[in-house]
Structure 1
């Protein structure tokens, strides 16, 4: 299933994100808030529910040979808030899949940042921050289905399975690194736990997500 391509050709009508000073909140799952998030189904449905985890509310994702995600339309100026911050946790990694191939394009946790090409829809691009099973941390590659999506392994392997991890990444710098040019504005953020290509099972937890200054 061409999950990457489907994500990046979504017709985007940006919504207003929650903004406080230099922080723009995208996901406030810790407050039990799913406002503005929409579902996108590719192949079967990953179940997304708000649950208590270690004394706080988070978004729990459970996939069984499925691929569906949640996305939120936003409008982010990377000149002002270029860094994406988030927390996440996985319960298990996927094993044996080569994520650089179409057959292995599955992840227990991933966050998309989508850049619209406007009227030139063929230029719509996305960066995927993923928890890889074997790719080295900070490595990047083009998605097997479309060169318009770049993948970055933020976590890899089993060392931190079962632990909440705090992450941050400079989206502006990542875009330049992958696509070789300056990015436009961010038009959507999406999350997905997917196992449709491998037929495996995976569960993950997503905490709050926001953009901020360096």
Structure 2
């Protein structure tokens, strides 16, 4: 069986171990970039088997706050943190980020343009009872190769080039990952932008059902398809309970 390394459903989190962790119904705290002493404080490198050129991540200070700076130039890699959170409380995902530029050849609808100066993945638990035979077989092959249990569907919040802000589309490699443009174009390039998303509402809109547990969150700045260059800055990412009316 041939496995496409760029198929995001199977390999975006190929190095993410999904060991059993207590399910959390309360607010969850992601390791804050602002308090980290190194990039390994609760986060791990996300690298791909056939991509030798990696994006560069470092802790830096912006306006008195410590953030993560990413630089990508024709490569791809990210940082991941493992979670196991029940989404019944409709957790709100909040973060702030900044990019130097968008990619001229970036196009979320095409494999050749599937690059973003900044993106955040939310990966969910795989639900085998909803998967077909061939999907289960492909997953099993990847798990044998990499020794990891892989997550299922994913939401991918992106700083897009031309995809209109607010639009949902399937990733050009797989419909198991839905792309959501939370920023679009270069109008806000060079500025800090704050984003807040209702994960449960987004999952329902993307996949037409309630989400299973959240198993991981990752940041990634990548340019391996377009070969372009960009820098991005990521502030703290937080999960909190949805606001009550």
TM-score if structure 1 supplies the norm length? 0.91
After superposition, the C-alpha distances for 1:113-144 in whole angstroms (9 at most, x for unaligned) are: 00021556658110000000111111010001
Larger radius of gyration: 2
Q: 2:12 aligns with which of 7, 16, 23?
A: 7
Q: 1:104 aligns with which of 109, 113, 121?
A: 113
Equivalent pairs, count = 212
What is the distance in 1 between the residues matched to 2:99 and 2:216?
23
What is the distance in 1 between the residues matched to 2:30 and 2:123?
13
The reply on whether 1:133 has 2:139 as its aligned counterpart is: no
After superposition, the C-alpha distances for 1:169-205 in whole angstroms (9 at most, x for unaligned) are: 0110111101111101100001100000000111100
After superposition, the C-alpha distances for 1:135-156 in whole angstroms (9 at most, x for unaligned) are: 1111010001111100000000
Find the residue that maps to 2:204 and give its secondary structure: helix
Preserved contact between residue 90 and residue 200 of structure 2 (Cα < 8 Å): no
The reply on whether 1:124 has 2:152 as its aligned counterpart is: yes
Preserved contact between residue 22 and residue 81 of structure 1 (Cα < 8 Å): no
Unaligned runs of 5+ in 1: none
Q: Select the structure that is richer in strand.
A: 1
Root mean square deviation of aligned Cα: 2.2
Q: 1:38 aligns with which of 24, 35, 44?
A: 44
Preserved contact between residue 14 and residue 188 of structure 1 (Cα < 8 Å): no
Find the residue that maps to 1:30 and give its secondary structure: helix
Select between 90-99 and 29-38 the one with higher mean Cα deviation: 29-38
Preserved contact between residue 107 and residue 195 of structure 1 (Cα < 8 Å): yes
After superposition, the C-alpha distances for 1:34-71 in whole angstroms (9 at most, x for unaligned) are: 42211121222111100011211100000110010111
Select between 8-17 and 150-159 the one with higher mean Cα deviation: 8-17
Unaligned runs of 5+ in 2: 130-135, 140-150
